Amino acid sequence: MIAPLWLTMLAIGFVAGSIPFGLILGRTKGIDIREHGSKNIGATNVGRVLGRKYGVLCFVLDALKGALPVLAVWCFLSGQYPSQTSLVGILMPLVGVAAILGHVYSPWVGFRGGKGVATSFGALAAMWPLMTFPALGALILWIIVLKLFRFVSLASICAALSLPLFLVARVAWTTNESSFPIPVVLPMLLVTIALAILVVWKHRPNIARLRAGTEPRVGTARPTADSSATLRS
C-alpha cells in the first residue's frame, strides 16, 4: 500500500505545482506573459507586466500550490498512519519538491515554468513546525535584501541560500531533540540544500545580468548604470 500511496501523493504534488497561474492571469488580461518582460511565468514578471496587484496574486497562488499538497499529506497520513512520524517526515518534503518541480518544469508551458521561489516558500512554510520558521526567516531576508538593493533575483538567491542555515539554527535552538528526530530533520536539510541549488541554477541569466550591471531594479523599466557598482561596493 505504501508504494502506490507515495506515487499518488507525488503525482498530486507535481500536477498541483504545474498549474501555470502566471500564464492564466495573463490570459485574463488578453496577454501571453511568455511574450513580455523576462518571458517568465513567475510572480516577478507578472508584476512587471500586469501590475503589482497581479504580481502579489500570482505569488500567493504559486505559494498555495506548494503549500496545499504538503498540508494534504500531513492531514491524510496523520489520520491513516498516526504512529508513522518518519513516513510523514519523509513524504512531506518529497511532495513539496514534486510541487516545486511541477512549477519549474510545467508540462503545460513546454516544461519551462517559473523559478520556484514562491512555490518553495509555500511548500516549506506548510511543513509545521520544523520548516515554517526557517521559511519565514528566508522571507524576511528576502525583504531586507530587496529593500537594500532592489533586485528581486538577488533577494531570491540570498533567501534560498539561507534556508539550510535557518533550518540548522532552528534545530540547534530546540533543546529537546525528540521534537525533531534525525529521520525528520535530515530529509528537510537535504531538501533545502537541493532547493537552494535549484533556485541558483534557475537564476543563471539573472546572475549574469547582475555581474554585467544590466539586471533591472524593482520600480525601474530598465537597469540603472550603477547596478554593478552598487553590488561591488
Whole-angstrom distance, CA of residue 229 vs CA of residue 233: 6
User: Which range has the worst mean pLDDT, 23-32, 78-87, 98-107, 153-162?
Assistant: 78-87
User: Which range has the worst mean pLDDT, 154-163, 164-173, 194-203?
Assistant: 164-173
The pLDDT-based confidence of 81 (bands split at 50, 70, 90) is low
Q: What is the pLDDT of residue 181?
A: 67
Q: What is the pLDDT of residue 86?
A: 65
Q: Residue ranges of the alpha helices (H) in the chain?
A: 2-17, 21-28, 43-50, 52-80, 85-104, 117-125, 132-149, 152-173, 182-202, 204-212, 227-232
Prediction pTM value: 0.86
Q: What is the pLDDT of residue 179?
A: 64
